């Protein structure tokens, strides 16, 4: 699962540059949390585009993540990209004061979608394409909010496992403090990815790599020494999250139907 940092940087910066040009954008926009994935995405965007053409939105909920905001500010300063800090607490609090919930996932998903809504609003205001920051581990396990942090225009990071993003981050010169941070979706305070998923990223990525990239059958992966319960759980997470990776099924009635047999490339005429 080792990668060449310079090679991957070259692919992904060209991807960002080419996709923006194809769709007529000069600018890229992304949500910057101060965590590893969005920081790596910001580094790639700043290399692919002029730093002044990259806008990072830092979107904290009140004062719940002040340390992350401080890290995010360091990143934008280091890269010389534009940024805006918008507190989402006023919008989110109005909603929950009318429709209260103590369910952390419901609250966290609402926040993720509030951020998405602001990103799309600024995408239109700034004529900037949204750069996604979901990695392959998250996409496979469905560890993200549908129509929330998973929403984007293009995703440069979606075919790199978390541990590969760490390797890329070293090559790109991402500050050690951010590289060593404990990964968190930030849906609530104290949440950690590995705590919630029950496994270290290193183990998850290796199991996923065997199952997905190398197409090894489950029993061979278990025979390699991984716990059956862990492998089973990851497979279950993959299966149960296919809906997050696809457009919803359209009921097919006509001879030619969107999502079934009306088949055109994404880059139609580009």
Q: Which of 98, 102, 103, 266 binds other proteins (CB under 8 A)?
A: 266
CB of 31 to other proteins, least distance (A): 21
Smallest distance from the beta carbon of 107 to other proteins, in angstroms? 33
- Taking the least distance from each CB to other proteins, the nearer of 121 and 213 is 213
CA 14 – CA 48 distance, rounded (Å): 7
Instruction: Record the tokens describing residue 151, joined without a space.
Output: 């929403």
The answer to whether 82 touches 125, Cβ cutoff 8 Å, is: no
Collapse the DSSP code of 56 into the 3-class scheme (helix H, G, I; strand E, B; otherwise coil) and give the result: strand
Q: How many residues bind other proteins (CB under 8 A)?
A: 23
Structure tokens at 34: 């101060």
State which residue, 15 or 83, has the beta carbon closest to other proteins: 15
Length of the chain: 270
How many alpha carbons fall within 13 Å on the CB side of residue 29? 25
> What's the CA angle centered on 178, arms 176 and 184, to 5 degrees?
145
Distance CA 111, CA 113 (A): 5
Where in 163-222 is the site for other proteins (CB under 8 A)? 164
Taking CB under 8 A as the rule, does residue 63 contact other proteins?
A: no
Retrieve residue 174's tokens. 């991402």
Q: How far apart are CB 154 and other proteins at their closest, in Å? A: 8
User: Cβ of residue 93: shortest distance to other proteins, in angstroms?
Assistant: 38
Beta carbons within 8 Å of 37's beta carbon, 6+ residues apart: 133, 134, 135, 157, 162, 165
* Sequence-separated (6 or more) residues with CB below 8 Å from residue 127: 25, 26, 27
Residue 62 Cβ, how far from other proteins at the closest point, in Å? Answer: 37
Task: Tell me whether residue 6 or residue 80 sits nearer to other proteins (CB atom).
Answer: 6
Q: Kindly indicate which of the ranges 115-123, 142-150, 198-206, 262-270 contains the residues binding other proteins, using the contact rule CB under 8 A.
A: 262-270
Which residue, 123 or 155, has its beta carbon nearer to other proteins?
A: 155
Question: According to CB under 8 A, which residues from 127 to 166 bind other proteins?
Answer: 154, 164
Report if residue 263 touches other proteins, rule: CB under 8 A: yes
Query: Least CB distance from residue 263 to other proteins, whole Å?
Result: 4
Q: Does residue 264 touch other proteins according to CB under 8 A?
A: yes
**Tokens describing residue 17:** 């540059």
For the window 2-31, what string marks contact with other proteins as x by the rule CB under 8 A? xxx-xxx-xx--xx--xx------------
Q: For the chain, how long is the longest CA-to-CA vector?
A: 56
Task: Evaluate whether 14 touches 6 at the Cβ level (below 8 Å).
Answer: no
Which residues contribute to the site for other proteins (CB under 8 A)? 2-4, 6-8, 10-11, 14-15, 18-19, 154, 164, 262-270
């Amino acid at each position: 699962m080792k990668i060449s940092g310079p090679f991957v940087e070259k692919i992904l910066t060209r991807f960002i540059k080419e996709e923006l040009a194809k769709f007529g954008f000069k600018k890229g926009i992304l949500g910057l949390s101060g965590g590893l994935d969005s920081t790596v995405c910001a580094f790639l965007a700043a290399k692919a585009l002029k730093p002044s053409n990259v806008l990072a939105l830092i979107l904290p909920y009140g004062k719940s993540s002040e340390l992350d905001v401080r890290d995010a500010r360091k990143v934008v300063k280091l890269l010389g990209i534009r940024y805006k800090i918008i507190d989402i607490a006023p919008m989110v609090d109005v909603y929950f004061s009318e429709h209260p919930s103590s369910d952390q996932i419901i609250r966290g998903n609402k926040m993720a979608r509030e951020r998405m809504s602001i990103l799309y609003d600024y995408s239109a205001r700034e004529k900037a394409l949204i750069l996604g920051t979901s990695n392959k581990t998250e996409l496979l396990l469905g560890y993200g909010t549908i129509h929330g942090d998973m929403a984007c225009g293009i995703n440069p990071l979606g075919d790199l496992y978390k541990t590969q993003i760490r390797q890329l981050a070293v090559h790109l010169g991402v500050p050690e403090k951010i590289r060593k941070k404990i990964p968190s979706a930030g849906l609530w305070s104290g949440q950690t990815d590995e705590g919630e998923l029950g496994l270290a990223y290193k183990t998850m990525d290796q199991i996923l790599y065997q199952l997905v990239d190398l197409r090894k059958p489950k029993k061979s992966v278990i025979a390699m020494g991984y716990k059956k319960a862990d492998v089973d759980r990851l497979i279950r997470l993959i299966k149960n999250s296919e809906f997050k990776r696809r457009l919803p099924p359209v009921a097919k009635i006509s001879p030619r139907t969107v999502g079934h047999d009306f088949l055109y490339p994404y880059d139609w005429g580009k």
